[in-house]
Chains A and B, each alone.
Chain A
Amino acid sequence: MPQLAEKFLPSKLSKIGFVVLALTAMGFAALREPLAAAAAASTAGLFLTGMHGNRRRQSMPWPQLRILFFVTLNLALFTALWRGPWALSHWLYALPLITFGFVPAYLATIITIVGAILTMSSTQWLITLPDRHQMISAFVLSTLLGAILIFLQKYKDRQLKPLRRTDQLTQAASREYLSADLHKEIQRSEREGTHLSAMAIGLDTHLGDTAPDADISAILPRIGRYLHSQLRDFDTYYRMADLQFLAILPGTNTAEAADTADRIRNGLCTLMASHGLKLTVSAGVAGLNIGDDADSLQISASNALRRAQQQGGNRTQTYSNPVPSDLAETKGATQ
């Protein structure tokens, strides 16, 4: 699974890293190296707060703590350049890569360039040190090689994004594939002469007292699993909006699709009730008509869902075209 890498590392490696770095910081403190101790402690703190974009550590104290630790680390390392100990310049090498890990890319680029210039200019004053030339060229080379690494990673990430066909949370197919898949299905149903229905399912969250957002997002994976178990192998479902799903049901006419929708709606209501949520579910069903394309079928299903929710939710609404097309906007969905 593609999301495993991002989940596994912060939990396992960062704990080990935190412990090791905290011990190192204590060692430095015992040896009376305050700057080194500060650098090690702030790096340990960075490991603890987790990477930039980490899902779990998004709430109040963590982003602020992350910034605090990052600034402390930078201050400690750059102060060490002119106050000593010179050996702390070994810690500078990892700084560009750490920066790219913990702050957004554009900011990291600026910080790294400024940092490199600062390092180069400040070492010009350290004429007494024999190895400053070695350090400076090694530092620039490491930074450039690090830039290759970062480029490789960003490139792979971009390459990987369109391949992720499923939504992480609900295992629904991702939104980008909806139009293409629907188009294919419409072509097929025209070739085979079979029915095709689209079904939009939405949670009625707009009605009065709603459950807290955290509870709703906690139940989303279960909803995904339920849909997966109830739909047939060749039905596909997509996460349209935050709390809306769209399922494509090939070979199903509108009446059958409405039955399926009712069954799923009842099942989902039971599922929510068993988790202590007082939420109802509405569904909108639209059958494929002659002349429909992927977009219009999607819109019909969403309109039917909206109509169902406007009428008070907890119901299934089928979409039917009124004959004069100019009335479509005003009476979009009628029973």
Chain B
Amino acid sequence: MTETRLRTWSHSTAYTLSAIFISALAFQNLRYGFYQLFYLALMMATLLFAGLVYTLVSRRQQLSAPGHLVILSLLNIGLFVSCLTLDAPGISHWAMPLLVLNLTILPLRQGLALSALLVATVSISLWFRQPLADALISSSGLALMLAVVGFYIWGYDYMAQSAQNLSTTDPVTGAHNARFLDETLQKEISRAIATGHPLSVVSIGLNHAEEVRDLHSKTGLQTLLKNMTEHLFETIRTGDTLYTVNESEFFLILPFTPEEGVRVIAERIRRNLVEHDWPEVGKVSVSLGCTTRGNGDTSTYSLRSRATSAMEEARTRGANSAWFSPGEPVKA
């Protein structure tokens, strides 16, 4: 499950649960004749339902959806106001689930700020109304809850971040990502120096990626890239590795491959990709830049930049071509 889908699921579950409970509470207040509380709860349930709908509508941009802040701020303000104006018993209890909801749905900082504000407001109203001991117990309970939930969310945030940092594959295409490319390429260079074997790299760029995106939307482009990745995985040999870089580019590391080999492979890949009829998109055009490790190439940067400039050279010489850029020859 991707992070976006996981968060969509958790947000909608949280909203649904809260909406059900608040509706039940509204009904109960109606039965007991607390009309002010009934209207408050009804308003909150409506807001929560709106939050649920909003979550489902913006399920693809769940991680950066700004509407949650508005909805939760309104909910919090509702509770602030009722805390200050209504003299209803036990309203401080409702700060607890709202606090958990804030932190579950909002990004860490926003959630913490909003919840801290909520805890402060409710505590102040408690200090004014209740005897000292009760007020101290209740407000310390609120603060403890904030600390514990904050701790959980912080830990979750941290793990989500490290999962992103540790992953070696691109979420869209399934090929390895650019960070892992640098790591592997450095190893391969050191290996090529130690064994004296040739090492070649190929940079593959999809031409007119912007136009494809405009024509077939972002998902269309992603599907195309995914299909291309699968196709490339079938073309390359054991020991070759494939990476996705800069969204619409691929990078191949070909160990134990001299200049002649990489020329043949690049041509084969070019023909394979260009002649294939891609679903929805049809024909595409690609540019390939290849290079072989030369004497002076001891860093990943020089190899990568030479491959990229070779690809750009191929692009200016007309789409659908491959260009080889030689390095300084290796002295035996």
Chain A interface (Cβ < 8 Å from any Cβ of B): 1-2, 4-5, 9, 13, 17, 21, 24, 27-28, 31-33, 36, 40, 43, 85-94, 97-98, 101, 130-135, 137-142, 144-146, 148-153, 155-157, 159-160, 163-165, 184, 187-188, 191-192, 194, 232-234, 250-251
Contact = CB atoms under 8 A, between A and B. Distances in A.
Given A130-B90, A148-B10, A160-B163, 10 more contacts: A28-B133, A86-B134, A89-B141, A90-B145, A94-B144, A97-B149, A133-B25, A134-B25, A151-B10, A152-B6
Q: Which 6 A-B pairs have the closest CB atoms?
A: A131-B90, A90-B141, A134-B90, A233-B190, A163-B166, A138-B93
A257 to B, nearest CB: 14
B162 interface: yes
A156 B104 contact: no
Interface of B: 1, 6, 10, 13-14, 17-18, 21, 24-25, 28, 89-94, 96-97, 100-101, 103-104, 130, 132-138, 140-142, 144-145, 147-149, 151-156, 158-160, 162-163, 166-167, 186-188, 190-191, 194-195, 197, 237-239, 255-256
Given A93-B96, A137-B25, A145-B100, A153 B155 contact: yes
B141 A31 contact: no
Given A141-B18, A149-B100, A149-B153, A234 B188 contact: yes
B138 to A, nearest CB: 5
Nearest to B197: A192
8 contacts: A36-B137, A97-B152, A132-B90, A133-B28, A133-B90, A145-B104, A156-B160, A234-B187
Contacts of B14: 145, 148
Dominant secondary structure of chain B at its interface with chain A? helix
Most-contacted residue by chain B among A132, A137, A250 (CB, 10 A): A137
B63 to A, nearest CB: 14
A145 B163 CA distance: 24
B190 A232 contact: yes
Contact of A91 (B18, B91, B144, B197): B144
A93 B145 contact: yes
A233 B104 contact: no
Contacts of A17: 147
B18 A157 contact: no
A89 B138 CA distance: 8
A218 B194 CA distance: 34
A90 B28 CA distance: 22
B195 A251 contact: yes
